[in-house]
């Protein structure tokens, strides 16, 4: 490299560094995810308990903090602190129940909706 002037060597080094930097981002957070998640796990708005499976892996669709709508319009927010909940609704035409269990250790949320139309 002694026969090349210093300016040419500097330009070559910068070009090589830029080429390496461009390939360094391949396969990192800058690439788009290949899976958008389940079709029923759309962002924003309440989710229907009828449209989703009874057991949901948190890695597939994190429901914590989201609203889940059960039978007869009964709705509950999935707890984000690892607790579980049971919501009851009594009407003159029947009753409805929505159970949501969050198992953070198992990485799973269980939703059980009963009653209603």
**More confidently predicted of 44 and 116:** 44
**More confidently predicted of 55 and 16:** 55
Distance between CA 67 and CA 85 in Å, rounded? 13
Distance between CA 17 and CA 24 in Å, rounded? 10
Residue 11: domain span: 1-31
The CA distances from residue 11 to 5, 17, 36, in Å, are: 10, 10, 42
Whether 41 is covered by a domain: the verdict is no
Asked if 62 and 87 sit in the same domain, the reply is yes
Asked if 52 and 93 sit in the same domain, the reply is yes
pLDDT computed for residue 40 by the predictor: 86
Whether 104 is covered by a domain: the verdict is yes
Asked if 58 and 111 sit in the same domain, the reply is yes
Asked if 9 and 61 sit in the same domain, the reply is no
Asked if 16 and 55 sit in the same domain, the reply is no
Distance between CA 27 and CA 25 in Å, rounded? 6
Distance between CA 110 and CA 39 in Å, rounded? 18
pLDDT tens-digit profile of 77-105?
Answer: 999 988 999 999 998 888 999 999 999 99
> Is 91 within 8 Å of 70 (Cβ atoms)?
no
């Amino acid at each position: 490299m002694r026969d090349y002037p210093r300016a040419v060597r500097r330009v070559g080094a910068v070009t090589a560094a830029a080429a390496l930097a461009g390939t360094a981002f391949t396969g990192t957070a800058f690439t788009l995810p290949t899976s958008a998640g389940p079709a029923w796990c759309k962002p924003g708005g309440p989710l229907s308990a009828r449209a989703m499976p009874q057991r949901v892996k948190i890695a597939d669709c994190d429901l914590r903090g989201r609203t889940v709508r059960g039978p007869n319009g009964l709705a509950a927010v999935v707890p984000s602190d690892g607790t579980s909940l049971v919501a009851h609704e009594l009407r003159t035409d029947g009753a409805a129940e929505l159970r949501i269990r969050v198992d953070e250790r198992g990485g799973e949320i269980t939703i059980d909706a009963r009653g209603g139309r």
